[in-house]
Each structure stands twice: as C-alpha cells, then as structure tokens.
Amino acid sequence: MTTPGSGPRAAGAVALLAAAALSAARLGAAVTGLPEDHRTLTRSTSYASMEELLRSVDGKGPITVSVEATTAQGRKVFVVHAAASASPPFRILLYAQQHGDEVSGKDALLFLLRGIARDPSRLPEGVDLWVLPMVNPDGAEAGTRKNAAGADLNRDHATLFQPETAALHRVARRVRPHLAVDAHEFGRDPEEWTRKGWEKWPDVTMDGLNNPHFDQERIAAARRWVEEAGAAVERAGHRFLRYWVGGAPPDDEQRHSAPDPDGGLNGIGAYGGLSFIVEAAVRHHAAAPQADLGKRVDAYLVLFRRLLEGGGRRAEDLAVVERARKLPLPAFLPSDALWVNPGGTVTRFPAVEVATGRVVRVPTANLMTQIAVKRSVATPLGYAVDPAAAPELAGLLERHGLPFEEVAAPRAVTAETCTLLRVEEEFDDVYSRYGGRTIVKRGEARAMELPAGSLWVPLEGEGALRAAILLEPTAMYGLWQYPRLKALVRSDGTIPVRRVVAVPAVPAPGASR
C-alpha cells in the first residue's frame, strides 16, 4: 500500500524536479557568465561568453541555436529560435548590437533566453521567437561602432554589402516577422548638452517604422505599441521618451527616427511587419560607463517581455500586418520627404541638470513632429537595369531576395531615363538632413529597346514595395550615394536603372498582327 506523496510515481516526480533544478543550476552564473540578478550586471557579455551561454541553452526547452553567417574575422552570427506551439504563430524578431559598442540590448536578450531555457512557460503561447543577440561580433570584440570592414551596419540595409546585415535580412525573409526590434544605445551626456549643464532625461527611447512608403495603418499600430511599451517601462521605474535625435533644445533641431531604408528600423520594416528601434541611455563620459548596465538591461527586459506578452492586441496586430502584405502599390511613390513641425508646435523638452539632478522642461518649437512628403513620382510597371550594371545589381537583388529576369532578346518598352546631377555629401543645415542626397533629373518617357543582358524587375507580388524602395532612381537617398554603385553611373550622368512605364502587349498565339 502506498500513501499520498509516496511510492514509485512520487519518487519519479521528485527525481524530475531534482533534474530540473540541476538543469537550472547548470544555466547559472558559473556556466553562462551572467549573474542571477540582471540588475547587478556591471560588465557586458563578451563574444566568447555569449557563445558559451548559447551552447548551454541549445536544446533546452523550446530553444535551438544555429549559425547564420561568419564575419570577416571568423566569428559567428548566431540565430536563436524559441517557439511556443499555437496556430497561427506570431513571429517576433529581436536583434541587437549592430553597433559593437552598444551592449545592453544584447545582454538583455541573453537574460531573456536563459530565462526561457530555465522555464519555457516564460515564452507566451503562440509566440515564435527569433533572436540575433550580437549582429556585429567583430565590432563587439573591438568595442567599436563599425564592423571589421569599417562599415556602419545600421547604414547597410539598402546595399547589404556586409555579411552581417545580409545574414539579418536572410533571417527576416525566412521568418517574415510580424514584429521586429532593433536594440541600440544612445549617449546621455553629449558635449552640446553638458555645455548647458544638462544631460538627456530618458533612460530608454523607442520609435516605430515611419518610411513614407509604408501604409498608415501599420505606422499607427507601431505608434500605439510605442505608447504601450513606454507605459510599461515607466511603471517599472524607468524614464521613457519617444525616440529622438538631434541637438540640445531650444535652438537645435530634434526629430524622431530617420525614415531612410538603410537602417534596420525601416529596412526590416519593409518586409511588412511592425518594426521598432529601441535605445537605452549610457553615460559615455562617466568614469565607469557600465556601472548602470544592469539598469539598462532591466529597462530592455521590461520592454521585451511586454512585446512578447502582446498587450491583448495580438490578433489585431496580426491582422494589420497581413493586410499590409497584401496591399497593392500606390499610384505614386514618395521620392523626397523630411521632418517638419506643422504650425510650430511648442514642446516642453525634458533635460536633467547635472549639478542638482533637477528635471527642467525647456520650451522649444524645434522638435519636428511629422514627416512631410515633398515630392512623389508615378509608380512605374517596373525597372530595367542596363547590361553593364547587371552583374552588380543582380547581386544586390539576390541579397534582397527580389525576383528579376535576365532579358534574353531585345525587348521594346516605354521608359524614362534619369540623370544623376550630383551627390550632396555635406550635412544639409537648412533642412537638417544627412549627406548622401542624390539630385536627379527625370527624363521624358520614350519608346526604347532593352538590349539583351538587361535585367527586368517587375513591381509585382509581395516584394514589389521593397523593389521600388530599393531601385527608384529619383529617390533623394538612392543607391547612387554609395561609391561602389555610383561607379555604375555613366560619365554623362545616365543612371543605369530605367523607369519602365509601358510594355507592348504580347499577341496571343494565333492572333493576327
């Protein structure tokens, strides 16, 4: 006879609990290099320690770890997958440390993964989670923003010249995330602020995708998440502000995140999901910049967990994304846009007095609040690439997973030829815009023949929007700002990508001519 709580079954349960406890212990600080309490972290996880941690969680619960790419210096770009069963799954992509010297997002993701490995119930039902904790391992090991090739990865999402960003986009195409987050850090104590006796106020900032090509429903859904996640971060004791960049108030301009597709926010957003950038504040000029690393990690974990939980809007977000991915291209494509402040709205911008810790709110009308489209062009049927530029641009299209046809025989079309007048490399002090502006003259549409060896890129299917954003020759920040691609432009300025506006109908077999 057995009594409740005794016998073989109970003994087996005890053994299972003991095994679980042992497994958790093996995922503790001694093995992973992470302290038990993330808030005590004062030193970021190295590449070697991260690799050790990922090996320790691989195969634990729902977690699998794979290698997506190898860097110039031979380090691995890891991808971690964790799935909780449900249908349809909600796919989330979290990635960090595109800039090697911005560490807290990476550390937060490692704590998140360790927690899921220990207790799979921490991954909400229906979430299909994909994580790239360290996109730029070479830069991380060197403590530099750029990778080993000297490239800023968060300016490489249009060209995908670098193996790290190309790997991230391969993952994005496979996963087709409904929601993605790009994790960064910003300096709390830049010189233009400290000269005024201030430092920046927020502990963490966040913004949603905002490229003017994207549909307004998706942009609005992302903005709601910025507000929702911000409220959760503030409830946890962290100061939150919508992401912004720029100088110090009241005289310098501030604006929210750049709409350009060469960064992760809008580059990954072009796959049709909700996309975000998050930045935690670090004092770069402090004696010990990582003294508050645990606090930054805590803010990130609060935000990540809120996004995983879904805030009760999972079905709504899923529907928004699926509608966005089925939208046809609009009749016009924006080719130039800039941040503006309609009506000169005055904002009381927060700052912290360094000497006293007092929060001051500085009135300014120089916070730009909306993106205005300044110029648009009619949407073409597709783009034709000249044969001389075909090898380089075929590689670009392949890196983006965009379909194209190599024209085998001459083909009649009606197309516009565009001319590159100049590339303005300097910062635009009038409109506070980055260098790299491509000033282009658009030609009249005329009948022409595409020679054999040309590439034909039709604006069809789910990739049509990405192809238009990438190839549109009139775009203010187009491909021709990059020296490697500018070299494809003819000596007379002719851009080797033509806007095809009409293609003669092909007669049906047996039809009279």
Query: pLDDT, tens digit, for every residue of 60-82?
Result: 999 999 999 999 999 999 999 99
Q: What is the mean pLDDT of the chain?
A: 93
280-147-35 Cα angle (round to 5): 45
Residue 265 resides in a domain? yes
Q: How many Cβ atoms are within 10 Å of 146's Cβ, its own excluded?
A: 20
Helix 464-471, helix 390-399: angle, nearest 10:
140
pLDDT of res. 241: 98
- Specify whether 144 is located in the same domain as 269: yes
Query: Is residue 136 one of the residues assigned to a domain?
Result: yes
Residues 311, 228: contact at Cβ < 8 Å?
yes
- Looking at residue 32, what is its pLDDT? 60
**pLDDT at residue 157 above 90?**
yes
Confidence of residue 251 (pLDDT cuts 50, 70, 90): very high
Rounded CA separation 454/450 (Å)? 6
Q: How far apart are CA 469 and CA 213, in angstroms?
A: 8
Q: Are residues 54 and 152 in the same domain?
A: yes
Question: Which CATH number do you get for residue 175?
Answer: 3.40.630.10
Q: What is the DSSP string of 167-210?
A: HHHHHHHHH--SEEEEEEEEES--HHHHTTTEEE--SEEEEE--
Both 396 and 315 in one domain: the answer is no
What order of strands is seen across the sheet that includes strand 405-406?
405-406, 455-458, 382-385, 497-502, 411-424, 437-450
pLDDT at site 29: 54
| 395 and 320 belong to one structural domain | no
Q: pLDDT at position 433, please?
A: 87
Q: Is pLDDT above 90 for 405? A: yes
**CA-based R_g, the chain, Å:** 25
Tokens representing residue 351 in the block: 């700052």
Calculate mean pLDDT across residues 379-406: 99
Judge if 282 and 213 occupy the same domain.
yes
Q: Which of 329, 359, 394 is the last residue of a domain?
A: 329
Task: Tell which wins on pLDDT, 257 or 506.
Answer: 257
pLDDT at residue number 15: 41
Given pLDDT bands bounded at 50, 70 and 90, which one contains residue 505?
Answer: confident
Is pLDDT larger for residue 433 or for residue 175? 175
Distance from C-alpha of 260 to C-alpha of 506, rounded to nearest angstrom: 38
Beta bridge partners of 377: 333
pLDDT exceeds cutoff 70 at 25? no
Measured CA to CA, the distance from residue 390 to residue 95 in angstroms comes to: 32
**Sign of the torsion angle spanned by Cα atoms 260, 262, 268, 271:** positive
Strand partners, 424: 437
d(Cα 460, Cα 104) in Å, to the nearest integer?
Answer: 40
Give the Cα separation of 77 and 98 in Å (integer): 11
Instruction: Give yes or no: residues 314 and 207 share one domain.
Output: yes
Tokens of 171: 């993952």
Q: Please check whether residue 411 is in contact with residue 449, taking contact to mean a CB–CB distance below 8 angstroms.
A: yes
Q: Per-residue pLDDT averaged across 78-101, rounded?
A: 93
pLDDT digits (tens, 9 = 90+) for 319-329: 999 999 999 99
In a domain, 404, yes or no: yes
Last residue of a domain, one of 287, 311, 329: 329
Interatomic CA distance for residues 150 and 156, integer angstroms: 12
Mean pLDDT computed over 18-44 = 69
**Domain annotation covers residue 236:** yes
pLDDT of residue 87: 76
- Buried b / exposed e over 476-503, threshold 16 CB at 10 Å, is bbbbbbbeebeebbeeeeebbbbbbbeb
**pLDDT bracket for residue 508 (50, 70, 90):** low
Final residue belonging to a domain, choices 303, 329, 355? 329
User: Count of H helices and E strands in the chain?
Assistant: 14, 21
Count CB atoms within 10 A of the CB of residue 124. 16
Alpha-carbon span 226 to 224, nearest angstrom: 5
Q: Kindly state the tokens that stand for 339.
A: 């941040």
Q: 185, 98 in Cβ contact below 8 A?
A: no
Q: Is residue 320 domain-shared with residue 425, that is, in the same domain? A: no
User: Does the pLDDT at position 497 exceed 70?
Assistant: yes
According to the model, what pLDDT value does residue 23 have?
Answer: 47
User: Would residue 11 count as lying in a domain?
Assistant: no
Average the pLDDT over 291-312 and give the result: 97
Residue 355 lies in a domain: no
Residue 342: is the preceding peptide bond cis (ω within 30°)? Answer: no
pLDDT of residue 26: 52
pLDDT, tens only, 183-199: 999 999 999 999 999 99
Give residue 512's pLDDT band: very low, low, confident or very high (50, 70, 90): very low
Strands 437-450 and 497-502, how do they pair?
unpaired
For the cut 90, the answer to whether the pLDDT of residue 115 exceeds it is yes
Total of domains in the chain: 2
Is pLDDT of 356 > 70?
yes
15 is a domain residue: no
Instruction: Output DSSP code: residue 212.
Output: T
Check whether residue 311 and residue 437 sit in a common domain: no
Spatial CB neighbours of 117, under 8 Å, sequence gap ≥ 6:
27, 56, 57, 60, 61, 63
| Domain shared by 411 and 470, yes or no | yes
- pTM score, whole prediction: 0.92
418 and 309 in one domain?
no
Per-residue model confidence as pLDDT tens digits over 202-246:
999 999 999 999 999 999 999 999 999 999 999 999 999 999 999
Q: Is the pLDDT of residue 6 over 70?
A: no
CA distance 46 to 37: 18
Range of the domain at 411: 380-502
In this prediction, residue 86 has a pLDDT band, given cuts at 50, 70 and 90, of low
Task: Let me know if residue 49 belongs to a domain.
Answer: yes
Are 324 and 389 in the same domain? no
Q: Is residue 384 very low, low, confident or very high in pLDDT (cuts 50, 70, 90)?
A: very high
Q: Are 84 and 90 in contact (CB under 8 A)?
A: no
In percent, the amount of the chain with pLDDT more than 90 equals 89
Same-domain check for residues 130 and 271: yes
Q: What are 434's two structure tokens?
A: 């980055």
| Mean pLDDT of the region 248-272 | 96
H helix intervals, 270-354 = 293-309, 314-324
Percent of the chain exceeding pLDDT 70 equals 92
Confidence bin at 506 (pLDDT 50/70/90): low
Can you give the pLDDT at residue 257? 93
**DSSP one-letter string for 135-164:** S-HHHHHHT-SS-TTS--GGG-TTT--SHH
pLDDT band at 85 (very low <50, low <70, confident <90, very high): confident
Q: Indicate if the pLDDT at residue 13 is higher than 70.
A: no
